[in-house]
Amino acid sequence: MTTDLATLTHDISRIATDAGAFLLQERSRFQRDAIEYKGLNNLVSYVDKETEKQLVAELSQLLPEAGFITEEGTTGTEADPSALNWIIDPLDGTANFIHNLPVFCVSIGLAQGNTPIAGVVYDPNRNECFSAWQGGGAYCNGHKLSVSTSLHLGESLISTGFPYYTFEQMPQYLRILESLMQQTHGLRRMGSAAIDLAYVAAGRFDAFYEYNLHSWDMAAGVLLVREAGGIVTDFEGGDAFLFRGDVIAACGIHPELIGVIQQFWLNS
H or E element that contains 22: helix 5-27
The answer to whether 5-144 and 153-265 have equal CATH topology is no
> What pLDDT sits at residue 47?
79
Q: What's the rounded Cα separation, in Å, for the pair 26 and 34? A: 11
Band (pLDDT 50/70/90 cuts) for residue 77 is: low
DSSP H helical ranges for 82-240: 94-98, 170-181, 193-201, 215-227
Contact 66, 79 (CB under 8 A): no
- Helix, strand, or coil (residue 249): strand
Percent of the chain whose pLDDT exceeds 70: 88
Q: What is the pTM of this model?
A: 0.93
Domain 153-265 class in CATH:
alpha beta
Chain centroid to CA 62: 22
**Average of pLDDT values for 217-233?**
98
Structural domain spans, the chain? 5-144, 153-265
Q: Given this model, what pLDDT does residue 76 score?
A: 54
Are 8 and 58 in contact by the 8 Å Cβ rule? The answer is no
The CATH architecture annotation of domain 5-144 reads 2-Layer Sandwich (3.30)
> pLDDT: is 133 or 77 the higher one?
133
How high is the mean pLDDT of the chain?
90
Which H or E element spans position 255? helix 254-265
Asked if pLDDT for residue 38 goes beyond 60, the answer is no
